[in-house]
C-alpha cells in the first residue's frame, strides 16, 4: 500500500464516521490516527457528547472486534483479564478470557475503578499480552484501548496513575457541539436515527482488519528527516525545563509524537513528515503527561498552555520535500 491509498482509506473512514458523529471530524481524525499509529486513546468529556458512540462506530467502520467494560468501584482485575475456572466435567481448570481479549476495547469511565483494577490494563496496553496464573497470552492484532472519563465529576472516582496515563498515546477533549451541529443531530433523531442500532443507519464497513494492519505497516515507509527528529526531541525536552512544569514528558512521548506525525503525513498523502505534522499532535500527545507545579495550577495555567508556549518558542526546522 502506498501513501495515496492510505490517504484515500483514511478519508473514507472519516467520511463514513461523519454520518453518525456530526461536527466531530477533528476528534475522529485524532482517534483514527492513534489507531493507525498502534496507540491508545483517552477521551475526556462530560456525559452525552457521543464518546461511546464514537468508539462503537469506529469498530463498525474498521471491521474490528469490539468489547466494552463499564468500570465501577467494585470491578476486579479478573473481570478485565479473565481467569481460571474449574471445569467439573473435565476435572481441570480452564482459562476463561476476559473482555480485554478483543481488538477494540472501550474502557468506559475508566477513572471509576480503583488503581488495582486500572493496573490490569498496564501489561495489555504496553506489551499487548495478559499474564494470568503464571501464563502469558497474546492479545489479538490489532489491539486498541479507548478509555473515557468525565472531567467534572469527582465523587466515586480515582485519578489515573501516571504509569497508566503515559500508556495512552493521545488524550482528546470532547466539547459541546456548535449550534449548527446540534441542530443536525436533532434532525437526524427526528428522522429515526438510533445510536444503539448502527446497522439500521446503514453505516458501512470501510476497512477490514487485514486492511488496517496493512495501513499500520505503511507508516514504516514515511520518511522522517534528522531535522524533524531534532524538532521532536527539542519540544519534548522543553517540557522538562518549563518553569510551570514539575515533571516533563518521557521518551515514550517523543516516540508517540513521531509516530502520530508519520500517520498524519500519510493521511495527507505525503511520504515525508513536515513540522506541521508534529505541531498538530503535540497537544494531544503531551497534555496528559505533564505534571504542573501547584503554584502554576493555582494561577490557572494548564498543560495545553505550556505546550502552546513551547511550540511558539521552539525553532521550526526547514525540511526539503
| pLDDT, tens digit, 9 for 90 and up, residues 80-95 | 888 778 777 777 778 8
Q: What is the CATH number of the domain that holds 232?
A: 1.10.8.80
In percent, the amount of the chain with pLDDT more than 70 equals 98
Q: In this structure, is residue 217 part of a structural domain? A: no
Closest CA to 152 of 72, 46, 70: 46
Q: In this structure, is residue 318 part of a structural domain? A: no
> pTM above 0.85?
yes
Q: Which residue among 207, 239, 271 closes a domain?
A: 207
Closest CA to 102 of 134, 138, 70: 138
Identify whether residues 174 and 229 lie together within a single domain: no
Q: Copy the grid coordinates of residue 295.
A: 503554584
Identify whether residues 271 and 199 lie together within a single domain: no
Identify whether residues 117 and 264 lie together within a single domain: no
Q: Could you give the 3-state DSSP secondary structure of residue 244? A: coil
pLDDT at 66 over 80: yes
Give per-residue pLDDT as tens, 128-148.
988 877 788 889 888 999 999
Closest CA to 58 of 262, 169, 175, 198: 198
Identify whether residues 293 and 235 lie together within a single domain: yes
Identify whether residues 163 and 298 lie together within a single domain: no
Q: What is the CATH number of the domain that holds 10?
A: 3.40.50.300
Identify whether residues 239 and 281 lie together within a single domain: yes
Identify whether residues 131 and 246 lie together within a single domain: no
Residue 152's pLDDT band, with cuts at 50, 70 and 90, is low
For residues 268-279, give the mean pLDDT: 93
| pLDDT (0 to 100) of residue 155 | 65
Q: In this structure, is residue 212 part of a structural domain? A: no
Q: In this structure, is residue 321 part of a structural domain? A: no
Q: In this structure, is residue 216 part of a structural domain? A: no
- Is the separation of the CB atoms in 44 and 148 below 8 Å? yes
For residues 300-319, give the mean pLDDT: 90
Give per-residue pLDDT as tens, 234-244.
999 999 999 98
Number of domains making up the chain: 2
Specify the DSSP element, H or E, that contains 93. strand 92-97
Distances from the Cα of 138 to the Cα of 62, 76, 186, 208, angstroms? 21, 21, 43, 21
Identify whether residues 172 and 255 lie together within a single domain: no
pLDDT at 286 over 90: yes
| pLDDT (0 to 100) of residue 32 | 92
Q: Copy the grid coordinates of residue 149.
A: 472519563
Please list the alpha-helical segments (H only) found in 250-300. 251-267, 275-286, 294-298
Average per-residue pLDDT for the chain = 87
Identify whether residues 172 and 230 lie together within a single domain: no
Q: Which residue among 207, 237, 257 closes a domain?
A: 207
Spatial distance between the Cα atoms of 39 and 260, rounded to a whole number of angstroms:
9
Identify whether residues 128 and 191 lie together within a single domain: yes
Range(s) of the domain holding residue 46: 3-207
Q: Copy the grid coordinates of residue 177.
A: 457541539
Identify whether residues 69 and 15 lie together within a single domain: yes
Q: In this structure, is residue 215 part of a structural domain? A: no
Identify whether residues 226 and 195 lie together within a single domain: no
Residue 188's pLDDT band, with cuts at 50, 70 and 90, is confident
Q: In this structure, is residue 320 part of a structural domain? A: no
Amino acid at each position: 500500500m502506498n501513501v495515496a491509498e492510505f490517504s484515500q482509506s483514511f478519508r473514507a473512514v472519516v467520511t463514513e464516521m461523519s454520518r453518525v458523529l456530526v461536527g466531530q471530524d477533528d476528534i475522529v481524525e485524532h482517534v483514527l490516527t492513534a489507531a493507525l499509529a498502534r496507540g491508545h486513546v483517552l477521551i475526556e468529556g462530560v456525559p452525552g457528547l457521543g464518546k461511546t458512540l464514537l468508539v462503537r462506530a469506529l469498530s463498525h467502520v474498521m471491521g474490528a472486534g469490539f468489547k466494552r467494560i463499564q468500570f465501577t468501584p467494585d470491578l476486579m482485575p479478573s473481570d478485565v483479564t479473565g481467569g481460571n475456572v474449574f471445569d467439573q466435567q473435565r476435572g481441570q481448570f480452564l482459562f476463561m478470557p476476559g473482555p480485554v481479549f478483543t481488538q477494540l476495547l472501550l474502557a468506559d469511565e475508566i477513572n471509576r475503578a480503583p488503581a488495582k483494577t486500572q493496573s490490569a490494563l498496564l501489561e495489555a496496553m504496553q506489551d499487548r499480552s495478559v499474564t494470568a496464573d503464571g501464563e502469558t497470552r497474546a492479545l489479538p492484532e490489532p489491539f486498541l484501548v479507548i478509555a473515557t472519563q468525565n472531567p467534572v465529576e469527582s465523587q466515586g472516582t480515582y485519578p489515573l496513575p501516571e504509569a497508566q496515563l503515559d500508556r495512552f498515546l493521545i488524550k482528546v477533549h470532547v466539547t459541546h457541539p456548535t449550534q449548527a451541529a446540534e441542530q443536525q443531530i436533532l434532525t437526524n433523531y427526528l428522522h429515526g436515527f438510533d445510536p444503539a442500532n448502527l446497522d439500521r443507519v446503514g453505516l458501512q464497513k470501510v476497512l477490514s482488519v487485514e486492511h488496517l494492519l496493512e495501513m499500520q505497516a505503511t507508516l514504516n515507509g514515511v520518511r522522517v528527516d534528522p531535522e524533524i527528529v531534532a524538532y521532536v526531541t527539542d519540544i519534548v525536552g522543553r517540557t522538562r525545563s518549563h518553569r510551570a512544569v514539575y515533571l516533563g514528558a518521557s521518551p515514550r512521548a517523543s516516540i508517540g509524537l513521531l509516530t502520530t506525525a508519520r500517520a498524519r503525513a500519510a493521511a495527507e498523502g505525503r511520504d515525508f513528515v513536515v513540522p506541521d505534522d508534529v505541531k498538530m499532535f503535540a497537544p494531544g500527545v503531551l497534555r496528559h503527561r505533564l505534571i504542573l507545579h501547584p503554584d502554576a495550577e493555582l494561577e490557572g495555567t494548564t498543560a495545553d498552555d505550556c505546550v502552546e508556549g513551547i511550540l511558539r518558542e521552539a525553532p521550526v526546522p526547514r525540511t526539503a520535500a
